[in-house]
């Protein structure tokens, strides 16, 4: 998933995506421990996506003007 696509999410959708990614990572980690997961590609990609989402979430905490709603208000003026 690209960072630009993640930046378009609003706060609730981003929080939901982070929660879903954590659940999927838990399941994949469990499968990996049991020896059922053959490839690590999906696991690694999901970890990177989660890191991107958490980074963007943190950026929005620091700079609230980076939220999509705040950008829309600026464009409307």
CATH code: domain of residue 15: 1.10.287
pLDDT tier for residue 75 given thresholds of 50, 70 and 90:
low
Whether 45 is covered by a domain: the verdict is yes
How far, rounded to the nearest angstrom, does the alpha carbon of residue 58 sit from its chain's CA centroid? 11
Query: pLDDT tens, 29-48?
Result: 888 888 887 778 888 999 99
Q: Is the pTM of this model over 0.85?
A: no
Q: What is the mean pLDDT of the chain?
A: 86
Please give the pLDDT value at position 13. 94
Whether 77 is covered by a domain: the verdict is no
Residue that has been written with the tokens 């409307």 in this structure: 76
Whether 31 is covered by a domain: the verdict is yes
How far is 47 from 45, CA to CA, in rounded Å?
5
Question: What six digits make up the tokens of 52?
Answer: 């991107």
Please give the pLDDT value at position 76. 53
Whether 52 is covered by a domain: the verdict is yes
The total number of structural domains in the chain stands at: 1
Question: What range does the domain containing 53 cover?
Answer: 3-72
């Amino acid at each position: 998933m690209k960072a630009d696509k993640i930046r378009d999410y609003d706060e609730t959708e981003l929080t939901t995506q982070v929660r879903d990614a954590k659940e999927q990572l838990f399941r994949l980690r469990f499968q990996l421990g049991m020896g059922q997961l053959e490839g690590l590609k999906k696991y690694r990609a999901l970890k990177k996506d989660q890191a991107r989402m958490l980074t963007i979430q943190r950026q929005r905490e620091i700079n609230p003007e980076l939220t999509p709603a705040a950008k829309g208000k600026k464009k409307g003026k």
